[in-house]
Amino acid sequence: MAQHRLSLEVPHIVNTCILPVYDTSIYSPEVPTTCPILAITPPGFWQATQLGNRAPQFIANLSACDLGIQLSNCDNYNNVLVDGLYIIRWSLSPNDIVFVEYNHLRIATVLTTYMKILCHLNLAACEPDKETQQKIVRLQFIRTLFDAAIAKVEVAHQPEAGMQIYNYARTQLNKLGRYYNCAC
């Protein structure tokens, strides 16, 4: 029996104002693609924002306005989309049967902080001094913690465990950021 194989890609980026979502589904030409709904529940919300009128193979770069978080000044300014757990669901009719749902751990803000800290390190195309090497090792460990948090949320489907790791890593990163006075 012919059927669609629904799939989404939600890349991790450093743009704090955009949530990219790409439809990577494989559609059967024998089955209709009616009533498409992209539904996203941001962190701290209990109800999803439903974004209809998406055509198969869509590319969506969503802002806080698109998600219903920002309600004013949308033509002039995009608010930051907070880091955290986003529940993303893509469905077709019948929407309660033909769907795919993902937990996505957004880390754009902490990635931006991580990059700022790297910029403050005294690095060149040579071997760094011992103190700088220790800071690099610490940053690598923190980055590994963020990767582990993503793995827990997106691969192991353990969002609570992933958020615990994320919160610990964010605390450690912010401690380093204060050391460099980079407004983290």
Q: Is the pLDDT of residue 184 over 60?
A: no
CB 159 within 8 A of CB 153: yes
Q: Is the pLDDT of residue 183 over 50?
A: no
- Asked if 150 and 12 touch (Cβ cutoff 8 Å), the reply is yes
Q: What structural domains does the chain harbor?
A: 8-106 (2.60.40), 109-180 (no CATH)
Q: Are 124 and 30 in contact (CB under 8 A)?
A: no
Q: What are the pLDDT digits (tens) for 119-177?
A: 888 777 788 889 889 999 999 999 999 999 999 999 999 999 999 999 999 999 999 88
pLDDT in tens, 27-86: 999 999 999 999 999 999 999 999 988 999 999 999 999 999 999 999 999 999 999 999
Structure tokens at 163: 């958020």
Burial 147-180 (b: 16+ CB within 10 A, else e): ebbbebbbeeebbeebbebbeebbeebeebbeeb
